[in-house]
Amino acid sequence: MVEEIDYSEYIPEDLLEEIMEYEKENKRRNKKIYPSSRDIVETVKEAAIMARGVHPDEFPDIVLRLLKEKGFDTRYVTVKRIWRVYENLVRKGVIPDTLHVVSW
């Protein structure tokens, strides 16, 4: 049998608390989070600026790549959602239709 060692006798309590806090924060940082709607909107705006002269089929891939570079988990971000956000932004006049895909 392995006997559990109580390290609190050997390590100062304030140092032990600091280590525990650091581990808790690191656990949160290592887990990728899903992008919120606001994150997707901001990324679509960035991608629309970058996408001048790009074929519309490549646009969702650009958005997904940018989201991944920002550290988001993109498993549940669909192409349909990206296009819906793009279309809403164009119709509201937030971004120009650089891809020429929105019909009025």
Q: What is the pLDDT of residue 35?
A: 94
Q: What is the pLDDT of residue 13?
A: 80
> Is residue 27 a part of any domain in this protein?
no
> Is residue 47 a part of any domain in this protein?
yes
Which range of residues forms the domain containing residue 67? 37-91
Reported as a single tens digit per residue, the pLDDT across 68-102 is: 999 999 999 999 999 999 999 999 999 999 999 98
> Is residue 80 a part of any domain in this protein?
yes
> Is residue 61 a part of any domain in this protein?
yes
> Is residue 97 a part of any domain in this protein?
no
Buried b (16+ CB within 10 A) or exposed e, 15-53: eeeeeeeeeeeeeeeeeeeebeeeebbebbeebbeebee
> Is residue 19 a part of any domain in this protein?
no
Give the total number of structural domains in the chain: 1
Q: How confident is the prediction for the chain on average, in pLDDT?
A: 87
Q: What is the pLDDT of residue 19?
A: 80
Higher pLDDT, residue 26 or 52 = 52
> Is residue 31 a part of any domain in this protein?
no
> Is residue 49 a part of any domain in this protein?
yes
